[in-house]
Structure 1
Amino acid sequence: MSVIRIKDGKELLEIGFPDIRKYHGSLALMAVAVGFRSLQAAFLELYGDQAVPERKAISILSGHAGPGFRDAFEFVTRTVTRGAYRVDTDYPQAQYDPHRAQSYAFVISTEDGSAVEVVLKEHFLPGEFYDYLKKGREKTMTEADTETFGGLKLALAERALALPLDELLYIRRVR
């Protein structure tokens, strides 16, 4: 299992998906996995494969307001705690959910002004995923729906972790 390496002051941290999963739980596993992979992709683009970013140097604009992405980003970068995390569900890229404004795009920036836009590829999430989210918001999920959706989220998380980054995400330098 791959890890994200990040510095917190003088301490070098190696954070894997299982660490974030313990923090988050199982509510939004797909989002935790995609958030983890999004940070991997952004850090690779911003820092190369040798440099290790400082937590305090990172800020994030998230197009998604959900707890899975927030928790993945917070656990690795502490951006929420530091006030360096902003949500804009109207972000124009990756508006895939047919039932509401919610973007599957993230802009990860550094204190020197460099930034990368990371976008989930459009066909990663099946239509039924959005339908289950809608049912959850409307509180119309049956017990069977909850079980099926939980299995779907787990399968999507496993797939997100297994896919090469370029098959899961579009990565584009914006600054």
Structure 2
Amino acid sequence: MTSSLTVTDHETTLDFTYEDALRYHGPQAPGGVAHAYKVLERALGVFGGEGSVERRDLVVATSHAGPGVRDAFELVTRAVTEGRYTVDSSLARRERGNTLALYVFRVDYRGAIVTLTIREGFVVEEFSTLARKGDRTAEDESRLTVLKQEMADRVMSSPAESVYDVEVDTLPD
């Protein structure tokens, strides 16, 4: 597990920790923050050495519309503000079932494109079912809060390589 995500911004090195991303997002979706953090950790490792990736050249598309995911990507890449972040439902892998289908991320860096998909065991069915439930009770909300934190802890305590598989779609020459 990396202690921070290191990118550059016009030749300035920037480091972002998971705690930075949580502070930026707030307490609502720690699991989503953790997922985006691990996706970036994995993708940055494919695209170059620590600190060699220019944050403003990263383009992100995902089928996951969660606010924690969005905010973590925004903090590190500025992709939301600059129009390089897209929620695209066609990326979902429906054949993986409701629990895993939306955890698909396509990251493009200067023409190199990778697709990351969640491995089994990091998102539990109870979380997925409860998160989709429209009329949650106070008890449901309390349970969902616990499940979000448990998922965040599971994701963050694991190396990115064990959380997300990477499919290399295109690498530059």
TM over 0.5: yes
Equivalent pairs counted in the alignment come to: 169
Distance in 2 between residues matched to 1:87 and 1:42, nearest whole Å: 18
CA contact (8 A) 2:31 2:152 kept: yes
How far residue 97 of structure 1 moved from its aligned partner, in angstroms, is 5.6
Q: 1:165 aligns with which of 140, 160, 171?
A: 160
Pairing 1:38–2:36 present? no
How far residue 26 of structure 1 moved from its aligned partner, in angstroms, is 1.5
How far residue 143 of structure 1 moved from its aligned partner, in angstroms, is 1.5
How far residue 155 of structure 1 moved from its aligned partner, in angstroms, is 1.1
How far residue 93 of structure 1 moved from its aligned partner, in angstroms, is 3.0
How far residue 75 of structure 1 moved from its aligned partner, in angstroms, is 0.6
| 1:117 counterpart residue number | 115
How far residue 98 of structure 1 moved from its aligned partner, in angstroms, is 2.9
Distance 1:102 1:65, change over 3 A: farther
Which segments of 5 or more consecutive residues in structure 2 lack a partner in the other structure? none
| 2:140 counterpart residue number | 145
How far residue 126 of structure 1 moved from its aligned partner, in angstroms, is 1.1
Distance in 1 between residues matched to 2:94 and 2:46, nearest whole Å: 20
Distance in 1 between residues matched to 2:11 and 2:68, nearest whole Å: 28
CA contact (8 A) 1:30 1:156 kept: yes
* Structure 1, 84-93 or 144-153: larger mean CA deviation: 84-93
Deviation string 1:61-101 (CA, Å, 9 cap, x unpaired) is 111111111111111000011111111122143665639x9
- Same amino acid, percent of matched pairs: 29
Deviation string 1:119-140 (CA, Å, 9 cap, x unpaired) is 11133211111111122xx1x2
Distance in 1 between residues matched to 2:114 and 2:36, nearest whole Å: 14
Q: Compute the RMSD of aligned alpha carbons.
A: 2.0
| 2:10 counterpart residue number | 9
Per the alignment, in what secondary structure is the counterpart of residue 116 of structure 1?
Answer: strand
CA contact (8 A) 1:117 1:173 kept: yes
Distance 1:80 1:102, change over 3 A: farther
Letter in 2 for 1:72: A
| 1:98 counterpart residue number | 98
| 2:131 counterpart residue number | 133
